Amino acid sequence: MINELIINTLKPLNVPIGFQKYTGKKTTYITFNEYNQRGEGFEEDEEIFTGHYIQVDIWSKEDYEELVNKTKALLRDAGFKRLDEVDLYEKDTGLYHKGMRFFYLEEKEAN
């Protein structure tokens, strides 16, 4: 569910999006992964809220500031909360790398 939500949310960016990895030839792309998932709320020993902790990484050989801003806006509008972000440079690939972490609270359907 969460992977599909992220992919569908970021589709309007028109850049390749991959879960955990990207194997294509484009030099600007997005990868993402869920680095933590846990119960955030319980009722009568049943989990009613699940917290999804997501990392979204933007990779590019060019200036990616506009793509970063659009990514954050789309995720925010879909209910994600930004936790933190960092700028990196990958010497081995020559790619600039923006790592961003988000939180998404999913309400479980009643059984």
Q: Roughly how many angstroms between the first and final C-alpha of the chain, as a whole number?
A: 18
**Which single residue is written with the structure tokens 């359907």?**
109
Tokens, residue 35: 């680095």
Task: Read off the pLDDT band of 110 (50, 70, 90).
Answer: low
Among candidates 86, 77, 85, which has minimal Cα distance to 104?
A: 77
Predicted structure pTM score: 0.91
pLDDT of 77 strictly over 80: yes
**Which single residue is written with the structure tokens 């969460």?**
2
Average pLDDT in the 61-85 region? 97
Distance CA 28, CA 17 (A): 10
pLDDT at residue 14 in the model = 96
Average pLDDT in the 82-107 region? 95
The architecture in CATH of the region 2-107 reads: 2-Layer Sandwich (3.30)
pLDDT of 50 strictly over 80: yes
Other Cβ atoms closer than 10 A to 60: 19
What does the DSSP 8-state code read for residue 23?
-
- Report domain extents, the chain: 2-107
Let me know: does 98 contact 84? Beta carbons within 8 Å.
no
pLDDT at residue 24 in the model = 93
pLDDT at residue 45 in the model = 87
pLDDT of 111 strictly over 80: no
